[in-house]
C-alpha cells in the first residue's frame, strides 16, 4: 500500500499500523528499539516493549536504575523505532522522556556474578512476598516519550519508499514528504 499524501497526523496512523501488525501476527509487534545517550553524547540502544499511547506519549516500562534509566535521568532526549518487516513499515519517534511513577529481584544493568545469584534474589523476593500481593518495586515504572518528531516509512517497489516526517507545531503536527 502506498500513500499519495501524508496522513494528516502521525499518532493515529501509528496506532492503526500497530493494530494491524498485531492483527496480522507480526512477531514481537510491540517491540521497539530505544536509543538514549550518555552525558558525552555517546549513544546506546536496546529493545523495550510498547505499553500504549498515554496522553499522546509513547510509553514503556523499565528499571529507573538501569543504564537507560541513568542515561535518561541525565539526558531525557531519546528515540524509539518500530520496524514491522511483515508490513514493510517503520515508525520513528524522537522526543523528551519523563518518568510517570516510582524489580525487586533485578538490579537491572548492574553486573551480577552468576545466574545462581539472580535465582537467589528471586527466591528471596518469593519469601518476602509469600502469601501477599507483590508490590511494584520502587525503581521500576513507566516512562513516557513525548514525541517532537515522528517519521512514518512505508516500503515501496523499486526503492520508491514513502517517508512522511512530522514536527510538533503547538498542538498540531506539520508533515512533509521526504525523499526515500
Ligand X SMILES: Cc1cc2nc3c(=O)[nH]c(=O)nc-3n(C[C@H](O)[C@H](O)[C@H](O)COP(=O)(O)O)c2cc1C
Q: Which residues bind ligand X (CB under 6 A)?
A: 28, 31, 44, 46-49, 60-63, 66-68, 108-109
Marked catalytic residue, from 24, 126, 159, 177: 159
Which residue reads 501509528 in cell numbers? Answer: 14
Shortest Å, Cβ 14 to ligand X: 18
Q: Quick count: other Cβ atoms within 10 Å of Cβ 16?
A: 11
Cβ proximity to ligand X, 6 vs 34, nearer residue:
34
Shortest Å, Cβ 28 to ligand X: 5
Answer yes or no: 159 catalytic. Answer: yes
Cβ proximity to ligand X, 13 vs 63, nearer residue:
63
Cβ proximity to ligand X, 7 vs 108, nearer residue:
108
Shortest Å, Cβ 82 to ligand X: 12
Residues 6 or more apart in contact with residue 23 via CB below 8 angstroms: none
Residue 180 in contact with residue 160, Cβ under 8 Å?
A: yes
DSSP string, 11-78: HHHHHHHHHHHHHTT-TTTTEEEEEEE-TTS-EEEEEEE---EETTEEEEEEETTSHHHHHHHH--EE
Give catalytic residues, as residue numbers: 159
Amino acid at each position: 500500500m502506498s500513500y499519495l499524501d501524508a496522513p494528516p497526523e502521525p499518532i493515529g496512523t501509528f496506532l492503526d499500523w500497530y493494530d494491524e501488525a498485531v492483527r496480522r501476527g507480526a512477531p514481537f509487534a510491540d517491540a521497539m528499539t530505544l536509543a538514549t545517550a550518555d552525558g558525552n553524547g555517546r549513544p546506546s540502544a536496546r529493545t523495550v516493549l510498547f505499553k500504549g499511547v498515554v496522553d499522546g506519549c509513547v510509553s514503556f516500562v523499565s528499571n529507573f536504575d538501569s543504564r537507560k534509566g541513568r542515561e535518561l535521568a541525565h539526558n531525557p532526549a531519546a528515540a524509539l523505532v518500530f520496524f514491522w518487516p511483515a508490513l514493510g513499515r517503520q515508525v520513528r519517534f524522537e522526543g523528551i522522556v519523563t518518568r510517570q511513577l516510582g524489580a525487586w529481584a533485578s538490579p537491572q544493568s548492574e553486573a551480577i556474578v552468576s545466574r545462581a545469584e539472580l535465582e537467589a534474589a528471586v527466591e528471596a523476593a518469593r519469601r518476602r512476598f509469600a502469601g501477599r500481593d507483590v508490590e511494584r518495586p520502587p525503581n521500576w515504572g513507566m516512562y513516557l516519550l513525548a514525541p517532537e518528531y515522528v517519521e512514518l516509512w512505508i516500503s515501496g517497489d523499486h526503492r520508491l519508499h514513502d517517508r512522511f516526517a512530522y514536527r510538533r507545531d503547538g498542538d498540531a503536527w506539520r508533515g512533509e514528504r521526504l525523499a526515500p
